[in-house]
Structure 1
Amino acid sequence: MGVSTLDHVAQQDNGARIVLLHDSEGKVLVVLPVDKLLNLVPIWRDSERHLQPVKAADVKRFFSQDQLQIEAGQRKLFSLPVILDSDLDVAPSLNIVEPLSGLEFTADRSWYTKHADIMEIGVGLPDIDKVQPEGDDEAVITRAVERFTALRIKQRLEDTLGLPSLAPTTQKIISLRSDPAAGVDNLVPVVKVDQSLAAQVMSWSVSPFYAAPGSIQSIEDAIIRVLGFDLVVNLALGIAMGKTLDLPEDVPRNATPYWLQAVYTATLSERLAKQMEPDVRPKPGLAYLTGLLHSFGYVILAHLFPPHFSLLSRYIEANPNIRLDYIEKHILHVTREQIGAWLMECWSLPEEVCNGVRYLNEPQHPKAEGFSKVVFIANRALRYEGWADGPLERIPNTLLEECGLSHRQINAEIEFMRKESDALDDLTKTLAGQSRK
């Protein structure tokens, strides 16, 4: 579920957002600067209450009440217990926004000053950057693992984390994916010896999204006439990597399902890549794979840091307008993009895919190239449809110009996907069904 980054309120004097927390004793209204991350730990410590974010759907329903559109209702809202960030303590009034419902109003200091608890609860994003460990990604990951687990890294990182090795079939598929000379003749024997993969290929070939006229007679027919080398390799890798680790359970309660986000991001990335000019166009098949695996690091974070992953989920719920990578850096000092790209590199996935995932949030990085750029565009566009997680961010016009894309093209592709959503959802269910639970 995406919400505005609230830049328009952050630019105002005394711009503030409100967050609704609750526990067995009741609701609490938290007020902090709009552009800061809400730090829950000091609230738990100083209030001696384990207050939790209210579910997104309930928050939206609560703040959409008609009485909150008028001043009397807004004043009554502030009769709740209030926790106020110390940066806002002396402001004569606050320009309030609630990101999930879009509610905006001005609150006078007299509404809350007599009963508000003043705490240091907001963390600026530059302050998060300042405390991040230095070094390359492997050094950052090592420090995070040592800090948040009982492990002490004494040998190669990938040998220490308890991450499963890839199956022989998967290793062969990665080898094919990395070999520019590989083709259908190399792929068919690999698919045939894996009964589960062979069955999936036949199933995909008759899907309404891919089906060709006439009946499918064989694996060769399915790959050559309908699916193609790229799609079979990419979906096979998606299934294989989904089988290596359990999908997380204690996710944010407003989260887009993992495989739905993966399939929709992959599909839009590939379709947009095909429309880019030849001199800047990334290989559509690898753009699809980058989109499919763009959030795989999220699964790794859940595997490595179970207790802290639950905390991460609560912070994501409490900060819907803050970039996910900043929340991850604040809690774990490592992001899903860093750890996902590192593991893909260890598993010898194509360099373009590894860099595309690693620099997903930095599309202007020299190593990003077209893969990060097109997946960045696809992911941000899908947030407006509820098909990807993260705050709603405007896609920079300069980035669209670099890629030779327009909002009209993006909207046309999203409309196509909306019409084909049943077939895309079937593929999502297939991949989810093959993954570890």
Structure 2
Amino acid sequence: MEMAQSLERYLRSMDVAFSIHPHEMETSLSKLCSEMGIGPEQTAVPIVLRTQKQAFLMAVVPLDHSLDLDRLSGLLRREFLYLDEAEVSAWFLDSEPGAEPPIAEPYELPCIVDRSLFEQPRVFMRAGSHRALISMDNANLQRLYQAYPKAVISNPSVLPLSDEPLNRTDPTSIIAIYNALDNLDRLPSIPVLAMQLLEQASSEQTTAAELASTIEMDPSVTAQVMRYAGSPYFGYRGNLDSVQDAITRVLGFELVSNIALAIASSKAFNVPQEGPLGMRAFWKHALYTAVLAQSLAKKINRPQTLNPPRAYLCGLLHNIGVLLSGHLFPQEFRLLNHEMERYPQRSLSDIEQNLVITGDVQRFIRLGHDHLGGYLLEKWRLPQAVSTCAYYHHDAEYVGEHAEYVMLIQLCNRLLAQRKIGDLGRTELHAVQTGGLISDADAFSVLEKVMAMCPELDNLADNMAA
């Protein structure tokens, strides 16, 4: 099949002249255009959207552009969400998945077209098959889209064009994405309180009173530290009247510093509370990972290479890239949330690599929440073990510096996946590999003790998310 039948019938009924360009089977449109000598600016692609009230829309943009959802929403005075792959395929029953044509009428969809396409003498597009493109000259393109509104609804991409999975071992691609991240005006700076806490934690001269005084500058962080210290998890039965009491009587300097640092850091992000990737789910995953990592580190008992308080902070912040993704790309984050809800058996990393979006945001999302988080924590100058765990907590082959912390966080994630906590999905519920850090029996024994504290940990996570 070179063309979807409904599309061919429609084009002929509209008297739109077009040419067919057969080719070998190829699912990557960017690669195909490169091989055929077709400019991405003269290649039209469809993006199917919906509103909360289930009104649908096809937006047609050039291959080398990113859809501007904010601008589109402003133009049409409604908020749009991306459709996932299954929802898109349901509209194009006679097309191969991923080869949907940017022509709305045969599929009874309303449509809006980016104006820049009409500057091209000839425009190419998919026609329902991965074995042929079609093209038409400007006059026929005008005839094809004459009934649809035209507007500037996209922006030129700044990253190298590719719709293939990102090669995360290619330093050229990664550096280009990091450079583009640096140029985003929404990239959050480290909160002032977090910076002050980092400075105090790095100084051996800082006293418990000075640390308490800094934390007490922020009432919400103070309240969270006090709730944490009063949790049944720590078993302290006396009265706690101040943060300094929490430090000296219950938690200790390093743990209080780490808890406050994580809570203060999370204030840099504006993300939804609910959903499998929302703030509540983030803190539940973070807190369980932190407590489990600290408990395992104590059991392993190698404080020179696995310091329990440092392991705790690695656990709290290893997934901070999820918050950064939600903060930078709220519309795409909604789609990620939707996909995680719809396909709980899939891992977040797998969904990120296959998300049906276009343009620069696709490249940022495919970089992965792990690399996004590691890059941000490195920019914020958090301890290297913490940023390394964020970078590599999905890389089972990592053998570099702080590898034991990385292995520990990976072990925590695999153990918690057994209890449906985290983002590994249900497909990874295989035998837990401890990496030689600890015996299987000891690992599961520690897990059982942590899970026995579920009510207390869930309550703490809810408070931290509030």
Aligned to 1:429: 462
Once the two structures are TM-superposed, the CA of residue 131 in structure 1 deviates from its matched residue by: 9.1
| Greater radius of gyration (CA) | 2
Which 10-residue stretch deviates more, 410-419 or 422-431?
410-419
Once the two structures are TM-superposed, the CA of residue 45 in structure 1 deviates from its matched residue by: 5.2
| Secondary structure class of the residue paired with 1:352 | helix
Over 3 Å counting, the alpha-carbon distance change for 1:192 and 1:317 in structure 2 is closer
CA contact (8 A) 2:293 2:412 kept: yes
Once the two structures are TM-superposed, the CA of residue 130 in structure 1 deviates from its matched residue by: 5.1
Indicate the structure whose relative CO is greater, using CA pairs within 8 Å and at least 6 residues apart. Answer: 1
Aligned to 1:386: 420
Letter in 2 for 1:330: N
In the aligned structure 2, how far is the partner of 1:119 from the partner of 1:293? Answer: 44
In the aligned structure 2, how far is the partner of 1:204 from the partner of 1:315? Answer: 33
Aligned to 1:373: 407
The CA deviation string for residues 248-305 of structure 1, in whole angstroms up to 9 with x for no partner, is 3674599982211111111111111112252874211111111111221111111212
Aligned to 1:342: 375
Aligned to 2:330: 306
Over 3 Å counting, the alpha-carbon distance change for 1:268 and 1:43 in structure 2 is closer
- The aligned runs of 1:5-404 (5 Å cut-off) are 47-48=90-91, 128-129=165-166, 134-135=171-172, 137-142=174-179, 157=182, 160-179=184-203, 182=206, 184-248=208-272, 251-252=275-276, 257-278=281-302, 281-317=305-341, 319-331=343-355, 332-365=365-398, 366-392=400-426, 393=428, 400-403=434-437
In the aligned structure 1, how far is the partner of 2:366 from the partner of 2:224? Answer: 38
C-alpha RMSD of the superposition: 3.8
Once the two structures are TM-superposed, the CA of residue 246 in structure 1 deviates from its matched residue by: 1.7
Once the two structures are TM-superposed, the CA of residue 162 in structure 1 deviates from its matched residue by: 1.7
In the aligned structure 2, how far is the partner of 1:307 from the partner of 1:250? Answer: 15
CA contact (8 A) 1:323 1:391 kept: yes
The CA deviation string for residues 83-116 of structure 1, in whole angstroms up to 9 with x for no partner, is 9989xxxxxxxxxxxxxxxxxxxxxxxxxxxxxx
Aligned length: 317
Once the two structures are TM-superposed, the CA of residue 339 in structure 1 deviates from its matched residue by: 0.8
In the aligned structure 1, how far is the partner of 2:168 from the partner of 2:246? Answer: 52
In the aligned structure 1, how far is the partner of 2:456 from the partner of 2:277? Answer: 25
Once the two structures are TM-superposed, the CA of residue 316 in structure 1 deviates from its matched residue by: 3.4
Over 3 Å counting, the alpha-carbon distance change for 1:235 and 1:42 in structure 2 is closer
CA contact (8 A) 2:191 2:267 kept: no
In the aligned structure 2, how far is the partner of 1:220 from the partner of 1:323? Answer: 41
Over 3 Å counting, the alpha-carbon distance change for 1:188 and 1:164 in structure 2 is same
In the aligned structure 1, how far is the partner of 2:413 from the partner of 2:250? Answer: 27
Once the two structures are TM-superposed, the CA of residue 369 in structure 1 deviates from its matched residue by: 1.2
The CA deviation string for residues 123-168 of structure 1, in whole angstroms up to 9 with x for no partner, is xxxx63559975374532445x6xxxxxxxxxxx1x6332343343
In the aligned structure 2, how far is the partner of 1:358 from the partner of 1:253? Answer: 18
Seq. identity, %: 27
CA contact (8 A) 1:268 1:413 kept: yes
In the aligned structure 2, how far is the partner of 1:270 from the partner of 1:195? Answer: 26
Over 3 Å counting, the alpha-carbon distance change for 1:278 and 1:182 in structure 2 is farther
In the aligned structure 1, how far is the partner of 2:274 from the partner of 2:368? Answer: 18
In the aligned structure 1, how far is the partner of 2:401 from the partner of 2:188? Answer: 28
Letter in 2 for 1:243: K
TM-score when scaled to structure 2? 0.58
| Secondary structure class of the residue paired with 2:272 | coil
User: Which segments of structure 1 move beyond 6 Å, counting only runs of 4 or more?
Assistant: 81-86, 253-256
Once the two structures are TM-superposed, the CA of residue 202 in structure 1 deviates from its matched residue by: 3.1
TM-score when scaled to structure 1? 0.62
